[in-house]
Amino acid sequence: MNAMKAKELILRYNQGLCTAEEKLLVEAWEAELEASGEAYVNLSRSGELKQQVHARLIALIDREEEPEAVRPVHRVHFMRRWGWAAAVLLLAAGIGGGLLLKNRQPSSTVAKETVKVDIAPGRPGAVLTLADGTQVELDSMGNGIIATQQGADVRLNNGQVQYDDTAPGTGKMVYNTMTTPRGRQFRITLPDGTKVWLNAASSLRFPTAFLGADRMVEVTGEAYFEVAKDVNRPFNVVVNNTATVHVLGTHFNVNAYGDEDAIRTTLLEGSLEMQQGEQRALLKPGQQAQLAADGIKVAAEADIDKVMARKNGIFNFEGATLQQFLLQVERWYDIDVVYEKGIPRVTFWGKMTRDIPLSGLLVVLEKSNVKFKLEGRKLTILP
């Protein structure tokens, strides 16, 4: 969006002609300006004050010509530029009321009372268990060769592990396992060139060299795969020892957390088949196989944006219940959530970058009228 269109958007807002998303965007711009001056941003502010803010916005747009923040279609870029405070506004605007923003830090009464020591977001990190049982903590390792497995060098390179299978090897199949605890995520390139993004609280078991007629790995939790094509050796993913995904070369995501209501495999590119026992489901790009107690069902149109959010560094809370919201929070911030008396019925809408401290998300809970207390790493939802 160029400067002229941005100014037109503000004018349409004043005339009441904006879409819901455009309205949220303009109000987020207002919030950012007011935050810099420690002002209270109320979504029902007076028309005169709105006009003053909009005049300042237009002046800024004229100076910057094409501000990076003015991209309503891709709200992710907007949030990265303006920080978590504006992202909170996008989430909370539908609830009503206002947000108190001060130096881009949470200043709500509840946040002050319950967050004595803030909790940082997750970061890259994992534990690599070698064939002999040796565990390598990847969080603190520097770049270079970290191990040799059956003739293959294992390298750590800028936050990802790579296996070099060009060495002759021993001809013996041995396995390594990468495990990400809560609050960690990691990338790995397998010996065949397949790339895997492992989310928090997940694991991937794989051979140090793919031998034989097929390639097989095992996964728990959540992982995104970009499988190296090899028409002569199919790639199989065993999910939670429950189901198997068969592929030749494709991009797909597996979500198999034990605390979710189903195992979900979403296809982005290529083709794959999900199998449980005698039941099979063939997917086309954009479809999702859901495995629950009653078997495999196929959703014809998966929410790809939501599926890819974690890999892309985003929380996607579109249509999420409080429990779904907090499951993501538990894994990423390594906290435990306890419901003192039932689960409040709250639905969230919006997106946030995953690099904000926990206090940023707690402001969203407060604005949703969810009562809570945080003691150490235990978040209790109050009645």
pLDDT single digits (tens) 164-190: 765 555 567 889 999 999 999 999 999
Judge whether 317 lies within some domain: no
Judge whether 382 lies within some domain: no
- Predicted pLDDT of residue 90: 40
Judge whether 351 lies within some domain: no
Looking at the structure, tell me whether residues 101 and 144 fall in a common domain.
no
- In contact, 122 and 129? CB cutoff 8 Å: no
Percentage of the residues of the chain whose pLDDT score is greater than 70 = 71
The answer to whether residue 197 scores a pLDDT higher than 60 is: yes
Name the more confident of 284 and 33.
284
Q: Outline where the chain has alpha helix (H).
A: 3-14, 20-35, 47-64, 75-82, 84-92, 109-114, 304-307, 322-333, 358-367
DSSP-derived pairing of the beta strands 202-207 and 235-239: unpaired
Q: Identify the CATH number of the domain in which residue 301 sits.
A: 2.60.120.1440
DSSP-derived pairing of the beta strands 351-353 and 98-102: unpaired
Q: How far apart are CA 282 and CA 51, in angstroms?
A: 55
Looking at the structure, tell me whether residues 130 and 27 fall in a common domain.
no
Judge whether 339 lies within some domain: no
The answer to whether residue 203 scores a pLDDT higher than 70 is: yes
Q: For the chain, how many helices (H) and strands (E)?
A: 9, 29
CA distances from 321 to 76, 98, 328 (A): 21, 22, 11
- Output DSSP code: residue 262: S
Per-residue pLDDT of 267-279, as tens digits, reads: 999 999 999 999 9
Query: Model-level pTM?
Result: 0.73
End-of-domain residue from the set 272, 307, 342: 307
- Predicted pLDDT of residue 348: 81
Q: How far apart are CA 366 and CA 351, in angstroms?
A: 17
Looking at the structure, tell me whether residues 191 and 291 fall in a common domain.
yes
Q: How far apart are CA 265 and CA 290, in angstroms?
A: 7
Q: How many domains does the chain have?
A: 2
Q: How far apart are CA 7 and CA 61, in angstroms?
A: 8
DSSP-derived pairing of the beta strands 195-198 and 127-129: unpaired
Find where tokens 């207390």 sit: 373
Looking at the structure, tell me whether residues 166 and 79 fall in a common domain.
no
Range of the domain at 92: 3-107
The string of DSSP letters for 28-45 reads HHHHHHHHTTT-EEETT-
Looking at the structure, tell me whether residues 103 and 128 fall in a common domain.
no
Percentage of the residues of the chain whose pLDDT score is greater than 90 = 44
- Predicted pLDDT of residue 104: 34
Q: For 212, how many CA atoms within 13 A lie in the half-sphere containing its CB?
A: 11
Q: How far apart are CA 362 and CA 370, in angstroms?
A: 9
Q: How far apart are CA 62 and CA 89, in angstroms?
A: 25
